[in-house]
Amino acid sequence: MRQLLRRRTSASLAHDEGLADSDSGTRPGYGGRARLSLSRVRSSRNSQAELAGQASAAVAEVEHPPTAKDPAAAAFFDVDNTLMRGASMYHLARGLAVRKMFAPKDFARMALRQASFRVRGAETSGNISAVRQLALTFVAGQKVAELVQLGEEIFDDTMAARIWQGTREIVQRHLEAGQRVWLVTATPVELANILSRRLGLTGALGTVAETANGKYTGRLVGELLHGEAKAAAIQALADREGLDLTKCSAYSDSANDLPMLRLVGHPAVVNPDPDLREEARRQGWPIYDFRLGRRATIITLPVLASAIVCGIFIALALRRRWTRT
């Protein structure tokens, strides 16, 4: 089904031709196979955020159906800096660079973006745009199956140890209450699915990239699953899975995810950036901070310089490794 959707959301989507000639399909859902109308994806082509959200929900698979204690409730978790320290795309890129999937200079750029992300503790439109462009560049032409296999290895090698234990405990409480737990992330859906599966979660909503003949084209379906697109994906998934959003929870670190947080009945913030912390205090939302110290986002210039130098050093080391081989 996923490959069918992606084949039918190929170049035509980039030119606003929609999902012409696609039929309704089925996708596993809680308590049976949920009917999935791709006409929703087709009708939202005028909004890239809506398109990204609808596409993400369309390919979302239930990995671990929950018990039936609370079938109408779910918890939605952002990944970067909420569930995991740092940016998941950076960890993926680092693992791919070590495996010689792309050039050291590209990883150097990704390392600088990661240093900025870690220091500032916040996403910006400029960072998001830059990460999007880098991600599309290094996956274009890569085989989907190969990237998934490498993603499994990279999770074991790098990502598993970076899961915030405090957030993991919140996740577990939702699971023990019989609620579904979904990741909602700008990370490619293939990597999001790996994270969800390895953590025993219900499933994942992630950015959907076009594929053709089993390879990435270097284009997205809509845009990154970010901001309004996350809210659109959650709404579409709720419609599909029969969720009552007033009973649902959502967790994020970034003010960019306010559309997602405001969509549910029980929003909460984890390791929040300053703008989100301020909004959470105004709204009376729960605030969790698992970083070292409550002022973790206020880092001195020497620490920033150290992070940047470290990223450059890694890139140069990789360059020397490439030269020797």
Q: What is the pLDDT of residue 130?
A: 60
Residue recorded with tokens 């729960």: 286
Q: What is the pLDDT of residues 282-298, one digit of tens each?
A: 999 999 999 975 444 44
Q: What is the pLDDT of residues 300-309, one digit of tens each?
A: 334 443 443 3
- Catalytic positions are 78, 80
Residue 251 near residue 75 (C-beta atoms within 8 A): yes
280 compared with 10, residue with greater pLDDT = 280
Looking at residue 260, what DSSP letter applies? H
**Vertex 178, ends 85 and 174: CA angle to 5°?**
25
Q: What is the pLDDT of residue 194?
A: 92
Tokens of 91: 């960890």
For residue 59, give the amino acid letter: V
Domain residue limits, the chain? 60-325
Mean local confidence (pLDDT), 18-42: 35
Q: What is the pLDDT of residue 232?
A: 96
d(Cα 234, Cα 146) in Å, to the nearest integer?
29
Which residues lie below 8 Å from residue 297, measured CB to CB, with a gap of 6+? 119, 120, 121, 122, 273, 274, 291
d(Cα 248, Cα 267) in Å, to the nearest integer?
8
Reply yes or no on whether the pLDDT at 131 is more than 90. Answer: no
Q: What is the pLDDT of residue 147?
A: 85
Q: What is the DSSP string of 185-202?
A: EEEEHHHHHHHHHHTT-S
Q: What is the pLDDT of residues 234-258, one digit of tens each?
A: 999 999 999 999 999 999 999 999 9
Tokens of 309: 């130098």
Q: What is the pLDDT of residues 79-121, one digit of tens each?
A: 999 999 988 877 777 777 777 766 666 656 655 655 554 455 4
Question: 33-47, 107-121, 170-184, 309-323 — which one is most confidently predicted on average?
Answer: 170-184
Instruction: Check if CATH label 3.40.50.1000 holds for domain 60-325.
Output: yes
